[in-house]
Chains A and B, each alone.
Chain A
Amino acid sequence: MTAPLLEVDNLKKYFPIHGGVLQRVVNNVKAVNDVSFDINAGEVVGLVGESGSGKTTVGRTLLRLEQATSGNVRFGGVDVMGLNATDMRSYRKRMQIIFQDPYASLNPREKVREVLTHPLRLHRIGTASEHEDRAASLLEKVGLSRDHLDRFPHEFSGGQRQRIGIARALAVEPEFIVADEPVSALDVSIQAQVINLLEDLKNDLDLTMLFIAHDLGVVEHICDRVIVMYLGRVMEIASAADLYARPNHPYTQALLSAVPIPEPGKRRKRTVLKGDIPSPINPPSGCVFRTRCPMATEDCAKVVPELKSVGDGHTSACIHTT
């Protein structure tokens, strides 16, 4: 058994709220609160949750696009939270990100050539003459062609732009990619193309991926394992097959039952959650889900439930689970 590629321990990210005349910190938005998980090499792990669950912040903190408040992230055994700027650069080369919005994540003034050769120059990979070929082969890898090198982002459709975003992330040959809602902004017919592309690339290049998404169908399709988050905390972790067939946590059960099935007349028994996700400034005491949970009892307010094993590699944070 080899060590996981990525180990996250007790990760916390609080965003301070300043107030008063002296602009002192009066409170914190607890976006990520004590999150721990591992990702093995070659695995695609899904991170799901509703808006405000902290899933995007987890992804950004892993890459140190946000500075963690506390906690450890080890990548290939090295603690990346303690790296200085120089060491961080070589680490960035090994970890890349694909963003949600293909319209916002590409510089409108840069031709595709610049978009794709920029990371190569930054990381001093290859010579300038090699860059052109490298960029062209990246485009071919994502289903575009060399002719597209001299075009600007606005000349492409949303799906094509997302392909360019993927090519850019792949330019430095990373081992690990955080894909933050990579298909959410795309039309249904284009979404399938990009999902298939990500699957092919994952297999061809042996990529490890953290796939952040709110679409549970997409996540089940592409992921090996899934982490369910709610209000900054992990509720459940399991293999995709296990999680969708035997969701253990009441939140996961409600979340899955809320997904509309594209089959008329085949409505499942649905647990409709009442109310909205509470504010992450003052999350409920004990289990953060208890205010909307159909199974909540008084005990749920007392302690923060820990992730307990409920099956083979299947953990769930609920005091009522057996």
Chain B
Amino acid sequence: MDDTAHGAPLTGDLAVPSETAPLLQVENLQTTFELSKKLSVCAVDGVSFEVHAGETLAIVGESGSGKSVTSLSIMGLLPKDVGRVSGGSITLQGRDITRLSDTEMRDIRGKDIGMIFQEPMTSLNPVHTVGQQIAEMVIRHQNLSNAKARARAIEMLDLVGIPEPTARVDTYPHEMSGGMRQRAMIAMALACKPRILIADEPTTALDVTIQAQMLELMQELQDKLGMAIIFITHDLGVVAEVADRVVVMYAAQVVETGPVEDIFANPRMPYTAGLMNSIPRLGSSINKTRLEAIPGTVPALTSLPAGCRFHPRCSFATDVCKVGNPVLEEASPGHMIRCTRWRELTLGERRAS
């Protein structure tokens, strides 16, 4: 795609039916890791998507698919000296943020883009109280006085449903339970009212009952604050619950993307369909069937197969799949598929549940 003017409405394949310009637009993103002088791998290879205000975009994939590296690229948090954005653009509200300096990125992180991670204990600082950590954000970005920042911290803790926020503001992360810590981290991420929240596996380490609390909280906060959410996860159940649109990644590429109903009811890329069929669903004890496992393993990025990257594991693969690089093609509005054979394949109805 050509270099269109920033913020101008998209034309062509990548456009999603929408009146307004996207909040965040990732175009043909390439992120390279230099493992040694001679060896480098492309952990994100030509990824494009966009996020609009108030919507939730889920990025789904297995380990090594590049979903987390995509989010680190957006936030400018790639490990120094090893990883870098080597191509494409990330446009935040009309401004390309891939070439910003560290200082400029620091102004964006926390203020325009909030982040929450899988393990709250590693992202909260153990030697500061949660109140101090939230206050630090608003002092840094919004120039509030100490007293006002503390008041904001209490307000945020209350907003995320932490009981007795005036007392809790002075506790340290280790004094909180896992669920409370995750709430505190969300409070911190949202303290400056960012337009976009990137949540990287935010509920993976939590028990289902706590996960249910968290998903409910995030949805409630989105309704209240109107931010867009990029939700990175491998759990298809969570995706179905939170997402408006889905990006499925495999071996550093987007292999399918579309509205959530389309992706679940009518997956067109064999990998997506395979994932759907390989998860045990509730209700399986009534009608016991064997799981349809995807054979083989995810290829290493250092030894990717030629042709379609999924073809060695694909039960629909033929000789045409072993050559060339399939591109993303639009099957229906907003539903894109990277599969040479998608027009001829009937992947069948999803298993009855």
Give the contact stretch, choosing among B96-104, B142-150, B281-289, B335-343.
B281-289
Binary interface encoding of chain B residues 159-172 relative to chain A, with 1 for a CB under 8 A from any of its CBs, else 0: 00000000000000
Are B293's CB and A217's CB within 8 A? no
Are A258's CB and B211's CB within 8 A? yes
Q: Which residues from A are CB-within-8-Å of B275?
A: 188-189
Asked if B126 is at the interface of the complex by the 8 Å CB criterion, the answer is: no
Asked if A265 is at the interface of the complex by the 8 Å CB criterion, the answer is: yes
Partner of A190 from the list B261, B286, B292, B297 (CB cut-off 8 Å) is B297
Are A189's CB and B278's CB within 8 A? yes
Partner of A261 from the list B240, B274, B292 (CB cut-off 8 Å) is B240
Q: Which residues from A are CB-within-8-Å of B178?
A: 276
Asked if A149 is at the interface of the complex by the 8 Å CB criterion, the answer is: no
Asked if B117 is at the interface of the complex by the 8 Å CB criterion, the answer is: no
Taken together as a complex, chains A and B put the C-alpha atoms of A104 and B127 apart, in Å, by: 30
Q: Which residues from A are CB-within-8-Å of B284?
A: 217, 220-221
Are A259's CB and B280's CB within 8 A? no
Residue of A nearest to B60 (CB): A188
Are B280's CB and A276's CB within 8 A? no
Q: Which residues from A are CB-within-8-Å of B62?
A: 187-190
Are A217's CB and B282's CB within 8 A? yes
Give B339 Cβ to nearest chain A Cβ, in Å. Answer: 17
Taken together as a complex, chains A and B put the C-alpha atoms of A264 and B293 apart, in Å, by: 22
CB within 8 Å of B: which A153-201 residues: 157, 159-160, 187-193, 195-196, 199
Give A302 Cβ to nearest chain B Cβ, in Å. Answer: 25
Give A228 Cβ to nearest chain B Cβ, in Å. Answer: 12
Q: Which residues from B are CB-within-8-Å of A276?
A: 177-180, 210
Give A145 Cβ to nearest chain B Cβ, in Å. Answer: 14
Asked if A124 is at the interface of the complex by the 8 Å CB criterion, the answer is: no
Give A242 Cβ to nearest chain B Cβ, in Å. Answer: 9
Are A214's CB and B207's CB within 8 A? yes
Supposing A50-B209, A218-B280 touch, asked if A192 and B260 sit within 8 A by C-beta, the answer is no
Give A189 Cβ to nearest chain B Cβ, in Å. Answer: 4
Taken together as a complex, chains A and B put the C-alpha atoms of A241 and B241 apart, in Å, by: 25
Binary interface encoding of chain B residues 211-241 relative to chain A, with 1 for a CB under 8 A from any of its CBs, else 0: 1110110000000000000000011111111
Asked if B302 is at the interface of the complex by the 8 Å CB criterion, the answer is: no
Are B285's CB and A240's CB within 8 A? yes
Residue of B nearest to A48 (CB): B208
Are B295's CB and A193's CB within 8 A? yes
Asked if A97 is at the interface of the complex by the 8 Å CB criterion, the answer is: no
A/B interface sample: 9 pairs, CB < 8 A: A50-B210, A188-B234, A214-B208, A215-B280, A254-B209, A262-B237, A263-B264, A264-B240, A264-B264
